[in-house]
Structure 1
Amino acid sequence: MQAPVFPAEPTQFPLTDLALVRLTGEERAKYLQGQVTCDVNALAPGQSTLGGHCDAKGKLWGDFRLYCLQESLLLQTRASLLARQLPELKKFAVFARVDIQPCDWTSLAIAGTGTDAWIATEFGLSDTGLTPSGMAARVAPDRWLLVSEQDPALALPQASQDLWWALDIAAGIPHLEAAHQGEYIPQMINLQALGGISFTKGCYMGQETVARAKYRGASNRALFVLAGEASATVASGDTLERQLGEHWRRSGLVLNAWQQDGQVWLTAVLPKDTEADALFRLKQEEGSRLHLQPLPYALDD
């Protein structure tokens, strides 16, 4: 199956599907530490991590990337999540010296052969770190995210953000949409395998459920990457069916999808014990066929 084509040179992708929330105030780290799955207190300025924001039952309001700046924290997530997630994030802020507001900083991605060298020349960074107007986070070889207070006006060719999201899909990186809020615990989208959960940081919203899933094996679903053929438009929330003998049975929901020339790559939450040779189709297109692809990281509890 043809994978998304990696750019042949450093290319910028304006990430207009993302939103940024800025936390300021002297208790910003302390407050966020009690709300999310990642260890906020462990971050120094110039460091970044993935994380999840759960309700009291451990179900996700959203996943995010967190950037630690000198005077603030930036939480980057899908814009579609904010209507429900932001009020929940701010719910207890009145009791702490913290201010939580959406901000209009720029979110960009850069990917392509030679991007690591380009970043080193442009910003003097070999790994995630501060830039003059924000931060740059290295998510994989030759793949970077940038957040900037001003538009950096980079002298690079520009491409659609769809290809960036396709590269994330192939890498098994999840992005919840509004349709999935309140459906999954963090382990169901593999946040533990991506460094987005700390099991030693102490209490936070939903922590009891997340810990139970690790230590008692309470999570029986996980994120998988699938690829195949489909002509109909595939969207987040579409139903996947798995072949069992002569029949097809509902198996899970599409998380993120990318399509081109009749080919589709997608992520989906499926039963954790799904066999590697399992065959899937989209419920709305009986002629579609999808196969599991290897995850580029180890999957554990």
Structure 2
Amino acid sequence: MNTPLATASGTTSVNPSAAAAAPASPVALPMLPRPSAAEFDAVVQHGAYMPLTQFGVIDTIGDDAASFLHGQLTNDTQHLDAANARLAGYCSAKGRLLASFLTWRSGEAIRLLVSKDVQAAVQKRLSMFVLRAKAKLVDASGEVAVVGLAGDVRHALSGVFDALPDGVHVKVDGPAGSLIRVPDALDRLRYLWIGPKAQIEAHLPALDDTLKRVSPAVWDWLDIRAGEPRITQPVVEQFVPQMVNFDVLGAVNFRKGCYPGQEVVARSQYRGTIKRRTSLANVAGELDTVKAGTELFHSDDPGQPCGMVVNAASAPEGGVDLLVEIKLAALENGSVHLGAAEGAGLRFLALPYGLPTEV
């Protein structure tokens, strides 16, 4: 007898042995040391590349891979073509994000780039719902490498790829893997290069001739400055997609069919109930105390939190840059503080994109 699990569209039977299995243990991401000033400067002044060990890769394979994921994620995978990538979220039945992905086609597979600390749990949960679909989720992290490139990197990449993607989330493929342009940060171009580990590692010495290799922590900072949140273990099930601006970033398709949490996400969108958004800020401190999942408090209402840190990364000017989910009303006056009403005050910065005016 199968065990039912609630989804946005009702109940779905789940393999009982999978449902009874112990949850996958989370793998904590290591705290990356503060990058040097030279590493930050390399991105801003010249060009840099960085192997991205904070990500894992899941390949979804099989005849039903696209349709299966289409019924699970917030974005359209059924019509995902070979020339583009898309952001997507994976929600609980309550509409709260369990993970965020960059998705694209890689050969016959649909590839998911995900924060490494949530990969095992999310892969296991998705696998529980495969049922009779001809689809299988495979951990590809051991076979592929993920490299981020930022700044003046086009000349270096032209030695690897015959053409470069000309728009955000446009993808090109070559013998050395896939190259995806992702949103700029600080008006600097950014690309993700994902491909066979041996192939990429063979090309890296040539990159060293023109680009500086820097810490993956620089990529975390660039993602924050691009205003692109990432769901990691400390914030799992904390946010409806709109709270982290996923509707603005194109990570939610409101015309597609049902997926877990879809009713909650749609209701938030169409009933004008989005009273919380994600903003960009800086705060004094270091990553040992400024962490994802830390609550925020407002000077006018110190007794209850007004928001939460979504992502944090060391900033070149000092302190930590943050993406914070926060009540919109808390931005109107007063001050916002980290951890407690007497904690360090946040200095808010402009996001690189606009947010819709909430009703």
Look up the match of 1:10.
47
- Corresponding residue SS for 2:146: strand
Say whether the 8 Å CA contact 2:306–2:330 is kept in structure 1. Answer: no
- Structure 1 distance, partners of 2:332, 2:219, is 26
Look up the match of 2:192.
145
- Structure 2 distance, partners of 1:100, 1:283, is 38
Structure 2 letter corresponding to 1:32: L
Look up the match of 2:19.
none
Alignment of 1:1-301 (within 5 A): 5=41, 6-103=43-140, 104=142, 105-112=144-151, 114-123=152-161, 124-127=163-166, 128-141=171-184, 142-151=189-198, 152-153=200-201, 154=204, 155-156=206-207, 157-230=212-285, 233-244=289-300, 250-260=305-315, 262-275=318-331, 278-283=334-339, 286=342, 288-300=344-356
- Structure 1 distance, partners of 2:340, 2:215, is 27
Identical amino acids, percent of aligned pairs: 29
Deviations 1:182-204 (A, max 9, x none): 12111111111111111111222
Structure 1 letter corresponding to 2:250: G
Say whether the 8 Å CA contact 1:230–1:289 is kept in structure 2. Answer: no
- Structure 2 distance, partners of 1:164, 1:120, is 21
Structure 2 letter corresponding to 1:22: D
- 1:131 deviates by 2.5
- Structure 1 distance, partners of 2:353, 2:334, is 20
Q: 1:137 to 1:276 in 2, by over 3 A?
A: farther
- 1:55 deviates by 1.4
- Structure 2 distance, partners of 1:31, 1:259, is 38
- 1:277 deviates by 5.9
Q: 1:162 to 1:276 in 2, by over 3 A?
A: farther
TM-score by length of 2: 0.77
- 1:160 deviates by 0.3
Say whether the 8 Å CA contact 2:89–2:252 is kept in structure 1. Answer: yes
- Structure 2 distance, partners of 1:14, 1:278, is 41
- Structure 2 distance, partners of 1:148, 1:64, is 17
- Out of 65-74 and 285-294, give the one that drifted further: 285-294
Q: Which runs of 5+ in 1 are unaligned?
A: none
- Structure 1 distance, partners of 2:352, 2:332, is 14
Deviations 1:64-98 (A, max 9, x none): 11121221111011111123312221122131001
Aligned length: 297
Say whether the 8 Å CA contact 2:217–2:314 is kept in structure 1. Answer: no
- Corresponding residue SS for 2:247: helix
- Out of 20-29 and 150-159, give the one that drifted further: 150-159
Say whether the 8 Å CA contact 2:276–2:328 is kept in structure 1. Answer: yes
- Out of 27-36 and 224-233, give the one that drifted further: 224-233
Structure 2 letter corresponding to 1:115: V
Structure 1 letter corresponding to 2:296: L
- Structure 1 distance, partners of 2:58, 2:299, is 42
Q: Which runs of 5+ in 2 are unaligned?
A: 1-36
- Corresponding residue SS for 2:354: coil
